[in-house]
Amino acid sequence: EIFQRLLPRVYQIVDEINRRFVIQINERYPGNEDKVRKMAILYDGQVKMANMAIVAGYSVNGVAKLHTEILKNQELHDFYEMFPEKFNNKTNGITQRRFLAHANPLLADWATKKVGAGWITDLSLLSKLKAYADSPVAQQEFAEIKRANKVRLAKYIKEHNGIDVNPDSIFDVQVKRLHEYK
């Protein structure tokens, strides 16, 4: 009632989308009021915006393969049966490889020089860096990269927040958690 009263024209449009969609449900599942109850956009005094998004949208995306499967097989199964082509998965995240390549180009370039570019598509190839663990030269190169990145971050913090940060202090920064399975 509030939606209809506050947004009468929008409500008319939603009502028409719902009317047409309920016809589709009834054509596909004749006499199945349970399907209409679960899938309708407007039902029993409620506006189900998730249903609206599925009906009017082009794509339904789970944020991970597991989530997409839950949507398809459980939470939105009725919609998946009716619109399987809309359901897909695009993981909402970044792999460690891509994170390293984009967030730390100096270290990524160093790793590429040491073990080749294959690590960019196969993270396990970074294990070849173990061969350099005891190398004083490699340790010095790594330390220089770390220092250059801390100087760059200190400059960014100064420019954007007006705070002076000593690049020789310990930095503990986490922007987004990284999932091992990615």
The 10s digit of each residue's pLDDT in 8-46 is 999 999 999 999 999 999 999 999 999 999 999 999 999
- Greatest mean pLDDT among 14-28, 119-133, 167-181: 14-28
CA distance 64 to 68: 6
The two beta strands, 46-47 and 42-43, are antiparallel
Contacts of 29 (CB under 8 A, 6+ apart): 35
Helices (H), 77-125: 77-82, 96-103, 105-115
pTM above threshold 0.75:
no
**Is residue 117 pLDDT above 60, yes or no?**
yes
Q: What's the mean per-residue pLDDT of the chain?
A: 92
Of the pLDDT bands very low, low, confident and very high (cuts 50, 70, 90), residue 175 is: low
Place of tokens 């007006």: 162
Tell me the pLDDT tens digit for each residue of 48-72: 999 999 999 999 988 888 889 999 9
